[in-house]
């Protein structure tokens, strides 16, 4: 309605002119009769807001009503005088009537009115070479927009502290909804249930040492405290007073990249604590710190897939990324990387194999012929799984830093030249999962693939331990 009202006051086409002719009566006022229009009542109501927040850049004065437009003050002269005894229907002068050769030419009686209401008419500049222009005063350049109009007229409350930390592009909407419930205390903890008049014996199902409340469950419980302390160590921060406000505020000092990961961990962590609480109550599942930590790692990883922030080139930021998640017991993790010294040019692949304790079981590097980066990344996964199967490692988790390749394997749409080889390799393995990781967290195998670039086509190096040339490896989580 605001946009229709703006167009009504600033006609640009025949439809706007038709509306003005139909709903502006002879006195210059707006019609109070709908005249068969279903929208006029709404437009007329919006006209008050539009008029109150619009002003004029005075040009030749031919478009501005001297008495009814608010061109010299927030109110029009008619509204300031506020005298119904005056025959307003006979007063149709334009501002151009009091402009002569680009200067104000004010009649004595009109000057008395200006003086009466404290209007310094001579301080208003005239640009008589251009036509008059209505402007939207809340906007710096005077441009009207629906968004700007909404921001101007809506009722603004005090913004909550947690708002900017919760509704972010890197935070999944599901977590944002959860965070909203947490911040408003809309959770059926024992203390909230008791407030409804229901009598029950309250105890924290995680630590069994205290009654259950929102603050205790998430911040005072000994098991929750262990997780938060572990998260602080992971991000190399220290928080003395553990509460939601403290955890959110400390993230503000981090780089944009780590900031998103931190907020994702805070909102996701509180959600995982709540799920662990529900699993204990309704499914009688015991609380395991190791299992919870793995879930928290996964939550951080999911946030990393959504963030677009950049990181600082600092030891604190880089040391966080140089950590890897270990595979499950009985599972082998294969970190892979492929490269081409051009696209396409001579390529290479590299793989590192680890067990559930983080021990390096083997490493592999091979030189390739003329390939593209994409093909090299696909070949590395196939070769890594093939080597795992040939060494008797039949349950494998492959991790690559090329997300498009990971998605291609998930949808089973890989380069046709590799389809038969991949089908044969899958027959030799019992169980396999493939996921993506950060390139910065895949630097060990990146060094292997670069070494393979110096090997002749088809030549490979395989070691059943950590190779001597690999000076740095990722720290297991």
Could you report the per-residue pLDDT of 47-83, keeping only the tens digit for each? 888 888 888 888 888 888 888 888 888 888 888 988 8
Structure tokens at 429: 């393995």
- Locate all alpha helices (DSSP H) within 236-372, ordered by sequence: 244-251, 256-282, 289-306, 315-321
Distance, in Å, from the CA atom of 405 to the CA atom of 407, rounded to the nearest integer, reads 5
Residue 441 pLDDT exceeds 50: no
Query: Residue 237 CA to chain centroid, in angstroms?
Result: 24
**pLDDT (tens digit per residue) in 178-187:** 999 999 999 9
| End-to-end Cα separation, the chain, in angstroms | 57
Q: Which two tokens stand for residue 417?
A: 């030249």
Mean pLDDT (whole number) for 396-423:
88
- Which of 294, 300, 290, 282 has the alpha carbon at shortest distance from 175? 300
pLDDT in tens, 382-397: 989 999 999 898 999 9
Q: What is the CA radius of gyration of the chain?
A: 35
Closest CA to 347 of 365, 325, 329: 365
If one compares 409 and 163, the residue with the highest pLDDT of the two is: 409
How many CA atoms are closer than 13 Å to the CA of 90, on its beta-carbon side?
4
Return the pLDDT at 190. Answer: 92
Residue of 395 and 376 predicted with greater confidence: 395
477: pLDDT strictly greater than 50:
no
pLDDT-derived band at 4 (thresholds 50, 70, 90) equals: confident
Structural class in CATH, domain 324-476: alpha beta
Q: Is the Cβ–Cβ distance between 96 and 60 less than 8 Å?
A: yes
For residues 362 and 25, give the distance between their C-alpha atoms in angstroms, rounded to a whole number: 89
At 211 the pLDDT is 92
The better pLDDT of the pair 413, 450 is held by: 413
How many CA atoms are closer than 13 Å to the CA of 235, on its beta-carbon side? Answer: 27
| pLDDT greater than 70 at residue 343 | no
Going from N- to C-terminal start, the domains of the chain cover: 2-153, 163-321, 324-476
What is the layout of strands, in order, in the sheet containing 332-340? 431-436, 395-400, 332-340, 345-354, 360-371, 460-463
Which range, of 52-66, 173-187, 317-331, 336-350, averages the lowest pLDDT?
317-331
In this prediction, residue 269 has a pLDDT band, given cuts at 50, 70 and 90, of very high
Mean pLDDT of 251-264: 89
Average pLDDT over residues 119-133: 87
């Amino acid at each position: 309605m605001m946009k229709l009202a703006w167009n009504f006051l600033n006609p640009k086409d025949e439809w706007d002119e038709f509306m003005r002719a139909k709903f502006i009566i002879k006195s210059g006022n707006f019609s109070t009769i709908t005249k068969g229009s279903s929208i006029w009542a709404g437009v007329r109501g919006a006209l008050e807001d539009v008029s109150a927040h619009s002003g004029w850049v005075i040009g030749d004065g031919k478009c501005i009503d001297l008495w009814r437009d608010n061109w010299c003050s927030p109110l029009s002269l008619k509204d300031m005088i506020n005298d119904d005894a005056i025959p307003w229907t006979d007063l149709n002068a334009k501002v151009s009537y009091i402009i002569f050769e680009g200067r104000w030419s004010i009649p004595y009686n009109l000057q008395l009115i200006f003086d009466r209401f404290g209007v310094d008419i001579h301080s208003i500049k005239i640009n008589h070479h251009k036509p008059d222009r209505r402007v939207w005063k809340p906007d710096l350049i005077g441009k009207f927009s629906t968004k700007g109009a909404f921001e101007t007229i809506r009722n603004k409350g005090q913004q909550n502290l947690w708002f900017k930390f919760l509704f972010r592009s890197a935070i999944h909407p599901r977590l944002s909804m959860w965070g909203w419930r947490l911040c408003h205390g809309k959770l059926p903890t024992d203390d909230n249930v008791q407030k409804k008049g229901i009598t029950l014996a309250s105890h924290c199902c995680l630590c069994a040492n205290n009654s259950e409340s929102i603050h205790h469950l998430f911040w005072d419980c000994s098991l929750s405290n262990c997780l938060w302390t572990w998260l602080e160590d992971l991000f190399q921060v220290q928080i003395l007073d553990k509460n939601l406000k403290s955890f959110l505020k400390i993230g503000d000092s981090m780089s944009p990249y780590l900031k998103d990961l931190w907020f994702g961990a805070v909102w996701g962590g509180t959600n995982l604590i709540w799920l662990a609480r529900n699993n204990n109550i309704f499914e009688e599942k015991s609380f395991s710190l190791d299992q919870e930590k793995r879930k928290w790692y996964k939550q951080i990883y999911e946030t990393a897939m959504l963030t677009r922030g950049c990181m600082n080139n600092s030891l604190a930021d880089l040391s966080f990324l140089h950590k890897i998640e270990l595979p499950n017991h009985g599972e082998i993790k294969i970190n892979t990387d492929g490269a081409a010294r051009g696209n396409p040019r001579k390529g290479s692949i590299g793989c590192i194999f680890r067990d559930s304790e983080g021990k390096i079981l083997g490493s592999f590097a091979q030189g390739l012929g003329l390939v593209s980066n994409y093909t090299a990344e696909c070949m590395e996964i196939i070769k890594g799984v093939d080597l795992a199967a040939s060494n008797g490692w039949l349950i494998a988790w492959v991790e690559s830093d090329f997300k498009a390749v990971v998605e291609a394997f998930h949808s089973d749409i890989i380069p046709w030249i590799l389809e038969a080889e991949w089908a044969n390799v899958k027959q030799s393995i019992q169980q396999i999962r493939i996921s993506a990781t950060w390139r910065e967290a895949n630097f060990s195998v990146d060094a292997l693939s670069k070494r393979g670039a110096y090997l002749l086509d088809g030549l490979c190096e395989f070691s059943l331990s950590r190779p001597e040339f690999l000076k740095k490896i990722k720290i297991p989580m």
